[in-house]
Chain A
Amino acid sequence: MEDYKFLFKVVLVGNAGVGKTCLVRRFTQGLFPPGQGATIGVDFMIKTVEVDGEKVKLQIWDTAGQERFRSITQSYYRSAHALILVYDISCQPTFDCLPDWLREIEEYANNKVLRILVGNKTDREDREIPRHIGEDFAQRHGMYFLETSAKEAENVERLFMEIAVDLMEQAKCKELPKYDGSLGPLNGKTTSVNDSSCCLRS
Chain B
Amino acid sequence: MPLKISLLTKIMTSFIDLLTTLSITLCGPGCCGCCSALRPRYKRLVDNIFPASPQDGLVKSNMEKLTFYSLSSPEKLDRIGEYLFQKASRDIYRRRHGFVIIAMEAMDQLLVACHSQTLNLFVESFLKMVQKLLESTDPQLQILATQSFVRFANIEEDTPSYHRRYDFFVSKFSAMCHSNHSDKDTREKIRLAGIQGLQGVIRKTVSDDLVENIWEAQHMDKIVPSLLYNMQTAEKYETVSCMETDTRDGMEDDPPRLAEACLRELVGRASFGHIRSVLRPVLTHFDRHELWVPNDFAVHTFKIIMFSIQAQYSYSVVESLLRHLDAGAGTRVRAARAAVLSNIVAFAAGDSVGPSVLEIINNLLTNLRASVARDSEKESDEKLYQDALINALGEFADHLPDFQKIDIMMFIVSKIPNQRGKATKADFRLQSILLKSLLKVGTTYKTTELSKAFPAAFLDALLRLSSAGEAGTRALLQRILHTLLDRRGNAPALAVPTVDYAELGLIVEKCSRPDLIFISKHGYAIFSSLYDGLQLESNTTENISAIYTTLALLCVELASEETVCDMLQLILSIQQSALSNPVLSVSQQCALHAVALALAALVPHVLVLPRLADYVAQIIEARREEAPHLLPPLLEDYDLSPSKMPNKLPYLMIDQMALGECLKANGVEARLQPAAPYAGSALAHRHSWVEAGAAQGRDSLADISAGPNTELDSANSSPGVQRHAGAGGESVSLEALRRAAGGPSDAERREAERRRATLNDTFRTAPFDHLLAITQPKYEIKEKLEEIFNSLSEEPLLGAGIGGSPAGKPTPCAKYFPELFLY
Contact = CB atoms under 8 A, between A and B. Distances in A.
Interface string A44-76: 111000000000000101001001111110111
Which of B89, B132, B164 has most chain A Cβ within 10 Å? B164
Contacts of A42: 171, 174-175, 178
Residue among B165, B174, B177, B289 with max Cβ neighbours from chain A (10 Å): B165
Given A70-B288, A190-B124, A192-B125, A1 B221 contact: no
Given A2-B89, A192-B124, A79 B289 contact: no
A74 B281 CA distance: 12
Nearest to B136: A46
B177 A75 contact: no
A180 B167 CA distance: 9
B168 interface: yes
A37 interface: yes
Given A71-B288, A180-B167, A1 B89 contact: yes
A193 B164 contact: yes
Interface string A77-121: 011000000000000000000000000000000000000000000
A44 B172 contact: yes
Interface residues of A, number: 39
B218 A75 contact: yes
A38 B618 CA distance: 85
Contacts of A29: 137
B42 interface: no
Nearest to A43: B175
Main secondary structure of the interface of A (DSSP, over half): loop
B290 A71 contact: no
B229 interface: yes
B125 A71 contact: no
A147 B165 CA distance: 37
A195 B179 CA distance: 22
Given A46-B135, A68-B289, A184-B165, A40 B178 contact: yes
Contact of A196 (B85, B86, B167): B167
Given A1-B89, A36-B182, A72 B131 contact: no
Interface residues of B, number: 40
A42 B172 CA distance: 9
Given A2-B85, A193-B124, A41 B163 contact: no
B788 to A, nearest CB: 83
B53 interface: no
Nearest to A39: B180
A182 B166 CA distance: 12
A2 B128 contact: yes
A155 interface: no
Q: Is the interface of B mostly helix, strand, loop or mixed?
A: helix
Contact of B177 (A37, A41, A64, A194): A41
A5 to B, nearest CB: 15
A30 interface: no
A191 interface: yes
A185 B89 contact: no
B290 to A, nearest CB: 7
Nearest to B127: A193
Interface string B140-182: 0000000000000000000000011101100110110111101
Interface in A112-161: none
A40 B182 CA distance: 12
Given A1-B89, A193-B131, A41 B288 contact: no
Contact of A41 (B182, B218, B226): B226
B399 interface: no
Contacts of A67: 288
B575 to A, nearest CB: 68
Contact of A2 (B86, B163, B179): B86
Contacts of B89: 1-2
Contacts of A185: 163
A70 to B, nearest CB: 6
Contacts of B290: 68
A76 B182 CA distance: 24
Contacts, number: 109
Interface in B90-132: 90, 93, 124-125, 127-128, 131-132
B225 interface: yes
A149 B289 CA distance: 31
A193 B128 contact: yes
B288 A69 contact: yes
Nearest to A36: B182
A74 B218 CA distance: 9
A45 B180 CA distance: 14
B226 A192 contact: no
B180 A71 contact: no
B180 A192 contact: no
Interface in A178-192: 180, 182, 184-185, 190-192
B128 A68 contact: no
Contacts of A1: 89-90, 93
Contacts of A70: 288
B221 A72 contact: yes
B811 interface: no
B285 interface: yes
Interface string B208-224: 00000000011001100
Interface string B272-290: 0000000001001100111
Contact of A71 (B132, B172, B179, B285): B285
A184 B128 CA distance: 16
A16 to B, nearest CB: 12
Task: Identify the interface centre among A44, A70, A191: most chain B CB within 10 Å of its CB.
Answer: A44
B135 A72 contact: no
B171 A78 contact: no
Contacts of A68: 288-290
Contacts of A69: 178, 288
A59 B169 CA distance: 13
Nearest to B281: A71
Contact of B180 (A37, A46, A72): A37
Contacts of B127: 193
Contact of B218 (A2, A43, A44, A180): A180
Most buried by B among A46, A75, A193: A193
B218 A72 contact: no
A132 to B, nearest CB: 35
Q: Which of A40, A71, A192 has the most B CB atoms < 10 Å from its CB?
A: A71
Q: Which 8 A-B pairs have the closest CB atoms?
A: A41-B178, A75-B221, A72-B225, A40-B178, A46-B135, A42-B175, A193-B127, A2-B89
Interface of A: 1-2, 29, 36-46, 59, 61, 64, 67-72, 74-76, 78-79, 180, 182, 184-185, 190-196
Given A44-B135, A45-B137, A61-B175, 15 more contacts: A1-B93, A2-B89, A40-B179, A40-B229, A59-B135, A59-B168, A64-B178, A71-B221, A71-B225, A72-B221, A72-B229, A74-B221, A195-B168, A196-B165, A196-B167
14 contacts: A36-B180, A36-B182, A41-B175, A41-B177, A42-B175, A44-B171, A44-B175, A46-B135, A68-B290, A71-B225, A180-B218, A184-B165, A192-B128, A194-B165
